[in-house]
Amino acid sequence: MRTASACDTPVYRYAMYRWQPGPYEVYHFHREKLDSAAEGVRGRIGQVGEKDEVRANVMFLPVDVAKEADLKRLPPDVKEAWEKREEKSVPHYLISSPRARHLFQGLLDEKEIAALVDSPARQQLGKLLQEGKAGVYVLIPGADEKATGEAEQVVRGVLSDVASGKIMTYTPPAMDRSGGQEDEGEPAAPRTELGLLKVSREDAAEQWFVKTLLSLEPDLVDSKEPLLFLIFGRGRALFSCLGKGIYADNLIQDIDYITGACSCMVKEQNPGMDILMRYDWDAVAESLMRKFGAEEGSGYMYGGDTLFPELAMPGKDDPVAADPQGESTETGSVPGTDKPAPADASSTADTAIAVAQGATDLSTRPADAAGQGAETGAATSPAEAAETPPAPDSAAPAPTARDQSDPVEQVATVSPKATAPAGA
């Protein structure tokens, strides 16, 4: 047995160890002071997004429409959405995903926030991943019950074949979990298992979960066919296929991707999008570490945060967490301040916090917002990524309370999806 080398860790496990979910932005357009209702929404989002022990990837961003500076700092898509409104009445809310997809525009109240960040299906999803499932398929039924039943049968058949070993998945080399000599008596690694959830569009408790999934592709909202998504890591969702495209070969390609060995690539160059969800992902990562031991990305291999100590989540008393606008190693300058400007738009969270404080320009989006679509499930190849290597660690921006992404993420190369076979 040997210690796993770089690229041995399956994508789904590395994603759980290191990929922090991107934040969903709740923009609140108002005039001058916030009213009591908006303060309630702000307080609730701040509680679930920043203060609670188990947090959701969401943030509140007030925009005073009476201040031209606030409007200028908005990302182009958010500014355009505001300007297109015929009646620019306030208050008005806009919810944007990490890929700059707009989930909602209208009014929100404090009571709505609980359903926005959590639901029974999302809790069940988290539990399945915590049990060790490599990923969980989410099936949204279509208008035709027969077509939905056939799609579900295909999915269950593939998952059964994977669990039994009939469909083989990548298995990393055996790892020395104790740091000692090879143990020939070590039991074989457990076989890959995946889960399946059905979530109805008509389920009121799941409306925000469904909105999030449908936002992965612009034409999914109007589709009447059964839709299939694969979720892995800390809530990273891939649009898999729909209708007659839900057949074994396409599912196997999804599974090969998330269970395949990694190659170095930034997270945002992976297909998919983080869903809005409140779950204790650190506990799930810990359970995987105990199960699989020392492997790339695992704290057991690197002693917690020793691999990328500058990217560890700041504690409550961490001066960086207390002062997210503090000094950094970034280059350039932030308009209107003496603070350094980011070398690139690598963190929606940091810039979003800054606009709430009136400190920086949000007119650019991070790579995740402009990232590849999920329609093919294809990721950028390592060869392509090599043409634009990430900046060295020494040039990385100083961390903030929300800047928890690993600069050296992992990805497996995936080929474009095939179309449904004739007669399918």
**Residue 301 is part of which domain span?**
1-21+112-346+375-415
**What's residue 155's pLDDT?**
98
81 and 217 share a domain? no
pLDDT tens for each residue of 18-46 = 899 999 999 999 998 899 999 999 999 99
154 and 260 share a domain? yes
Question: Measured between alpha carbons, how far is 357 from 407 in angstroms, rounded to an integer?
Answer: 26
131 and 220 share a domain? yes
362 domain-assigned: no
356 domain-assigned: no
Q: Do 44 and 62 form a contact (C-beta atoms < 8 A)? A: no
**What's residue 265's pLDDT?**
60
The residue among 370, 369, 349, 371 whose CA lies nearest residue 360 is: 349
Q: Which of 64, 91, 111 is the last residue of a domain?
A: 111
Return the higher-pLDDT residue of 55 and 177.
Answer: 55
Decide if pLDDT at 224 tops 60: yes
C-alpha distance from residue 180 to each of 1, 2, 183, 399 (Å): 9, 9, 8, 35
If you average pLDDT over every residue of the chain, what do you get?
74
Q: Do 176 and 116 form a contact (C-beta atoms < 8 A)? A: no
Listing from the earlier edge strand, what are the strands of the sheet with 136-140? 195-198, 136-140, 227-232, 236-242, 273-274
CA pseudo-torsion sign 246, 220, 274, 131: negative
Question: Measured between alpha carbons, how far is 220 from 223 in angstroms, rounded to an integer?
Answer: 5
101 and 186 share a domain? no
Q: How far is C-alpha 182 from the geometric centre of its chain's CA atoms? A: 37
277 and 290 share a domain? yes
Question: Measured between alpha carbons, how far is 18 from 285 in angstroms, rounded to an integer?
Answer: 9
Question: Measured between alpha carbons, how far is 69 from 91 in angstroms, rounded to an integer?
Answer: 18
C-alpha distance from residue 417 to each of 63, 162, 271, 374 (Å): 41, 19, 13, 10
Question: Measured between alpha carbons, how far is 261 from 266 in angstroms, rounded to an integer?
Answer: 15
**CB atoms near residue 145 (< 10 Å):** 10
According to DSSP, residue 10 is labeled B
320 domain-assigned: yes
The CATH number assigned to the domain holding 61 equals 3.40.30
104: its two tokens: 């909602």
322 and 236 share a domain? yes
Q: Do 354 and 334 form a contact (C-beta atoms < 8 A)? A: yes
323 and 197 share a domain? yes
Decide if pLDDT at 77 tops 80: yes
424 domain-assigned: no
The residue-averaged pLDDT of 204-230 equals 96
Total structural domains within the chain = 2
Q: How far is C-alpha 42 from the geometric centre of its chain's CA atoms? A: 22
Calculate what percentage of the chain has a pLDDT beyond 90.
54
Q: Do 414 and 170 form a contact (C-beta atoms < 8 A)? A: no
Q: Do 347 and 397 form a contact (C-beta atoms < 8 A)? A: yes
pLDDT tens for each residue of 79-121 = 999 999 988 899 999 999 999 999 999 999 999 999 999 999 9
353 domain-assigned: no
Q: Do 93 and 24 form a contact (C-beta atoms < 8 A)? A: no
Decide if pLDDT at 146 tops 90: yes
Tell which phi-psi region holds residue 401, choosing left (phi > 0), alpha (psi between -120 and 50) or beta: alpha
**What's residue 174's pLDDT?**
59
130 and 93 share a domain? no
Indicate the pairing of strand 263-264 with strand 410-411. antiparallel
315 domain-assigned: yes
407 and 268 share a domain? yes
The three-class DSSP label of residue 138 is: strand
Return the higher-pLDDT residue of 187 and 251.
Answer: 251
5 and 61 share a domain? no
First to last CA, the chain: 45
The residue among 274, 277, 228, 279 whose CA lies nearest residue 251 is: 228
80 domain-assigned: yes
Decide if pLDDT at 392 tops 80: no
306 and 327 share a domain? yes
Decide if pLDDT at 66 tops 90: yes
Question: Measured between alpha carbons, how far is 229 from 214 in angstroms, rounded to an integer?
Answer: 10
Whether cis (ω within 30° of 0) applies to the bond prior to 399 is no
**What's residue 289's pLDDT?**
87
Most distant CA atoms of the chain, gap in Å: 72
Q: Which of 53, 79, 111 is the last residue of a domain?
A: 111
pLDDT tens for each residue of 314-354 = 333 444 344 444 443 333 333 333 333 333 333 444 444 34
Read off the pTM: 0.70
Q: Do 108 and 42 form a contact (C-beta atoms < 8 A)? A: no
The residue-averaged pLDDT of 305-310 equals 38
Q: Which of 66, 90, 111 is the last residue of a domain?
A: 111
61 and 172 share a domain? no
151 domain-assigned: yes
pLDDT tens for each residue of 244-262 = 999 999 999 999 999 988 6
The residue-averaged pLDDT of 392-420 equals 38
